[in-house]
Structure 1
């Protein structure tokens, strides 16, 4: 939740709790103290204090994760630990303010709520508590995700660093695991009129830390042993087989303003890419002259980079044994993208034939998307008895290999013959659930 949670939170009639940064000595003492306390509160459950980045001179909070299926009792856990205040952080998460000296609060824990920032009407109290508190962040994690979460959230910015390393080569790191990101997902986001959710173009690979590190070429042994310095930590990351001079240079060229802003806010990430890697990879002032080039007028990714992305994708499918899952999900995604392209092609035909515009035109096109199916025998279109989901659209069957209408005349004739029936079915289905015509129907 961030180490300044209580400075940006309020509780009516109570002062703002002062949570200054902790010295290494205080941090170590509180980590040991509350590790033991949490194990007592959650008997039989694994409690882990997250690995911190090395060479820290002070600490903003202590982060704990607990392997359990239990629900979080905010007041119960705060009072058990002896906290003065508690902030809910969403499902299974909270921050507790406890006296920095390790004593117990003389009063029961008070609920604090986030103020919402400088522009919010609700502000933290101008009265600041004299006592110094330590912020303890606690997250309850389901057993099936515990191993991954403790890895993902370790060393402060490990998740952000791994994500930045693998993103431009076609992978995504999230709190659920490592995913292969289809090239077509990235391309579809640049196509006007095509809507694709990330989940549709992300293939789950693994949530096992050792397996993921093995694929990335990172040493699990070094990770477990820990790092004495940031240089050691950065060197471990740079040993990944996905960290090369070419990939680094192209990633910098692709660097978006959003990514640059993230790097400025998270100095650990910025220092790795801007300061450490150029030295580690022996890049001089002329390092832009590499085998992979992308001028300002060349779309991303350049051919060589795209080929490398395909190579890593193939290796991932083999390494994680995901070939069958990939083929099914990729086929589904491509059908959905192509069906949306077909929508764009038939929309002017529907508009011309029906005379409909804007919302009424969208209603008819939606009916085509949800109710037009194609015979398995002769690939002829027909109207389905029951509507299917948008993602199950079969309109792509009207396209040829170049994503153009295979027979414009035949499509026009079919639209002329069936658009009114499709419109009626779509309207009937929208009204049916409530039988209330005063309620505006919602898209499914």
Structure 2
């Protein structure tokens, strides 16, 4: 992305040229794919680094050379799901970079939505993260806080990849989104409708995450949001943040699980996490009971842990079960006896 995949002269593309090229290339790619889309660009944008095209539903099977020839590309970096093409354009006497991303047809609407209007979802995402909500190419997710502290990726529960549901969950106006944004002010006003907005965050630098600070420093639109729009909003609507900041992480989590019917997914995730933590401690205790050398003891424990993992496959009845002291005692007692039996087999073999 950004026109930097090739060591060629790929200068910024003027907006009027960009629009013509988008029309040209999407028309060409429609001979290969039923769905060819380009996300709406950020308002007031005057140059573009590259052309990002999302495609889905191929009309037929085609070779990797066909889009190269079709687009008139002089260089290509093949890849899946994204391939990069360098195309010489006489109008600007330079190359343009086109990135073609192949999407599953059921996912392309979300992919387009997530990429729309430049930094829109960077801005909304910063607000969401304060209450454990994040947005990426897969959809909207909620994070379980006690798991997030140890493993961010393992803490995520997928909520939705429906654009309207995402916008409305953030408390923003779907009809305004559908109309689009002609100016940056319009887009910022839309973002300010987010129910997770904290207008004072621009003044509390210690509360800004590393990721938010990076966006603020590297993305001009995000910088304008933090350094110009929010301070002005705080001055105009003093006290508004008091109403908006009533959302706690726990409250948002509970609301999200109910709204998107994800309680079972959450309980499974929490249960599996608790089970894995318990198992690590259980094997440590069992290992300490085995009168074997370090090497043999570790071999026995690793083999048994693998057997337990295989036995657990397909067993989704965890959730609150893993919190049961009785369940934990029975699990540890059972595998302690199995480990001792393995030890006796090893002992007999060496005598």
TM exceeding 0.5: yes
Q: How does 1:126-275 map to 2 (within 5 A)?
A: 131-189=93-151, 198=153, 200-245=154-199, 248=201, 253-275=206-228
Among candidates 5, 19, 24, match of residue 28 of structure 1? 19
Q: How does 1:9-408 map to 2 (within 5 A)?
A: 17-39=8-30, 41-42=31-32, 45-69=34-58, 73-88=63-78, 90-101=79-90, 131-189=93-151, 198=153, 200-245=154-199, 248=201, 253-282=206-235, 308-320=248-260, 322=261, 325-327=262-264, 329-343=265-279, 345-347=281-283, 349-356=285-292, 360-366=296-302, 369=305, 387-389=311-313
Match in the other structure for 1:107? none
Contact 1:350-1:361 within 8 A present in 2 as well: no
Contact 1:52-1:156 within 8 A present in 2 as well: yes
CA distance in 1, matches of 2:317, 2:299: 15
State the TM-score, normalizing by the size of structure 2.
0.79
Are residues 133 and 349 of structure 1, via their aligned partners in 2, closer, same or farther at CA, if it must alter by over 3 Å? Answer: closer
Q: How does 1:415-434 map to 2 (within 5 A)?
A: 417-422=337-342
The structure richer in helix per residue is: 2
Are residues 98 and 254 of structure 1, via their aligned partners in 2, closer, same or farther at CA, if it must alter by over 3 Å? Answer: same
CA distance in 1, matches of 2:112, 2:16: 23
Contact 1:372-1:393 within 8 A present in 2 as well: no
CA distance in 2, matches of 1:422, 1:82: 66
Are residues 423 and 135 of structure 1, via their aligned partners in 2, closer, same or farther at CA, if it must alter by over 3 Å? Answer: farther
Deviations 1:385-436 (A, max 9, x none): x733599798x979767x9x879xx96x87764423356899xxxxxxxxxx
CA distance in 2, matches of 1:398, 1:311: 24
Are residues 183 and 224 of structure 1, via their aligned partners in 2, closer, same or farther at CA, if it must alter by over 3 Å? Answer: same
Deviations 1:240-296 (A, max 9, x none): 1121347x4799544343442343233333432344223223399x99x9799xxxx
Note the residue ranges of structure 1 that are not aligned, 5 or more in a row.
8-16, 104-130, 190-196, 293-303, 374-385, 427-444
Are residues 72 and 316 of structure 1, via their aligned partners in 2, closer, same or farther at CA, if it must alter by over 3 Å? Answer: farther
Residue correspondences, number: 343
Note the residue ranges of structure 2 that are not aligned, 5 or more in a row.
347-351
State the TM-score, normalizing by the size of structure 1.
0.64
Contact 2:124-2:194 within 8 A present in 1 as well: no
CA distance in 2, matches of 1:209, 1:97: 32
Helix, strand or coil for the counterpart of 2:268? Answer: helix
Helix, strand or coil for the counterpart of 1:211? Answer: helix
Are residues 201 and 186 of structure 1, via their aligned partners in 2, closer, same or farther at CA, if it must alter by over 3 Å? Answer: closer
